[in-house]
Copies of this chain bind each other. A is one copy, B any other.
Amino acid sequence: SKPLTLISGPCAIENEDMTLRIAEGLKKITTEVGCQLVFKASYDKANRTSVTSFRGPGMDEGLRILQRVKDEFELPVISDVHDVTQIAAAAEVLDIIQIPAFLSRQTDLLVAVGESGKVVNVKKGQFLAPWDMKHGINKITSTGNEKILLTERGASFGYNNLVTDMRSLVIMREMGYPVVFDATHSVQLPGGAGGSSGGQRQYVGALSRAAAATGIDGLFWEVHEDPDNALCDGPNSLPLAQVKGMLQQVLAIDAIFKQDSEA
């Protein structure tokens, strides 16, 4: 069984240069530690807490930059779509199309992404039981597309807090699709910082190790060169400088799980 894949990049495409530098940095790290990388960045943050929040460069410019990442670093890229009209253009560039958690029950969106023939990554809604992800899977497979990833990103736990139920990773893995743990969104405190979501970057390492020990196929980390000044999701993003050390530890745990459990 192969090591987990890292899905990583900045929350949003803040500008072209930084996006390329982060991609280069992550490519170097994952090559050194020996795991695959899928580069992730959003071109439009469509559900920010506040109407005045930074949203990104828009779809056309964002896809152009993601294509540059693909070309220059030979990396697969993933990003999210928010309505059916975006899918055709997105599918031209993206290797994996991601369904945002809040939209994980929107039938038309799941079906249309399924019809694109691309790999589909469905983030589990904060309001969904893990076993109910089978309905989302069925919406996609109704199109004949079986290339599905399932992502855990925390469940609602009272107000302004999420909890990661590690049982969810086991339950979704038993559905037969690769499971990704989105560690940086799982430590968000939704609405917890007034006009934006707060976050608890200090728990990303612990939850990532825990997920690797539980058993996952992919790990999702938002990273930034300077998270405290990021335009999006700074409080829960990891500094690029910490990625290598944390990832090595996670991969060591991943190896133990996979050698013992899947031998």
Nearest residue, chain B, Cβ from A84: B83
A28 sits at the interface (CB 8 A):
no
Q: How far is the CA of A191 from the CA of B51 in the complex (A)?
A: 31
A210 contacts across to B, CB distance below 8 A: 166, 210-211, 213-214
A163 x B156 contact (CB < 8 A):
no
A158 contacts across to B, CB distance below 8 A: 157-159, 161
Centre residue among A128, A202, A210 by max chain B CB count within 10 A: A210
A170 x B203 contact (CB < 8 A):
yes
A157 contacts across to B, CB distance below 8 A: 157-159, 163, 165
Q: How far is the CA of A55 from the CA of B167 in the complex (A)?
A: 30
A106 sits at the interface (CB 8 A):
yes
A196–chain B nearest beta-carbon distance, Å: 9
A20 contacts across to B, CB distance below 8 A: none
> A213 and B169 in contact (CB under 8 A), knowing A128-B191, A158-B157?
no
A138 sits at the interface (CB 8 A):
yes
From residue 229 to 263 of chain A, which have CB atoms closer than 8 A to chain B? 248-249, 252-253, 256-257, 260-261
A195 sits at the interface (CB 8 A):
yes
A70 sits at the interface (CB 8 A):
no
A251–chain B nearest beta-carbon distance, Å: 10
A50 x B213 contact (CB < 8 A):
no
Q: Which of A10-18, A31-39, A41-49, A89-97 contacts B (4 or more CB under 8 A)?
A: A41-49
Over the window 102-127 of chain A, the binary record of Cβ atoms lying under 8 Å from chain B Cβ atoms (1 yes, 0 no) is 11011110110000000000000111
B163 x A163 contact (CB < 8 A):
yes
A192–chain B nearest beta-carbon distance, Å: 9
A212 sits at the interface (CB 8 A):
yes
Nearest residue, chain B, Cβ from A156: B156
Nearest residue, chain B, Cβ from A101: B127
Q: How far is the CA of A111 from the CA of B260 in the complex (A)?
A: 44
Q: How far is the CA of A19 from the CA of B113 in the complex (A)?
A: 33
A164 sits at the interface (CB 8 A):
yes
Q: How far is the CA of A127 from the CA of B82 in the complex (A)?
A: 19
B132 x A46 contact (CB < 8 A):
no
B135 x A49 contact (CB < 8 A):
yes
A78 contacts across to B, CB distance below 8 A: none
Question: Can you list 7 A-B contacts with CB-CB less than 8 angstroms, sorted by A residue number?
Answer: A47-B105, A50-B138, A157-B158, A166-B166, A167-B207, A213-B213, A252-B260
Can you name 17 extra interface pairs (CB under 8 A) apart from A46-B107, A164-B165?
A49-B135, A102-B105, A102-B127, A103-B103, A126-B156, A127-B190, A129-B160, A132-B160, A132-B191, A155-B159, A166-B207, A206-B214, A206-B215, A209-B213, A212-B213, A249-B261, A252-B260
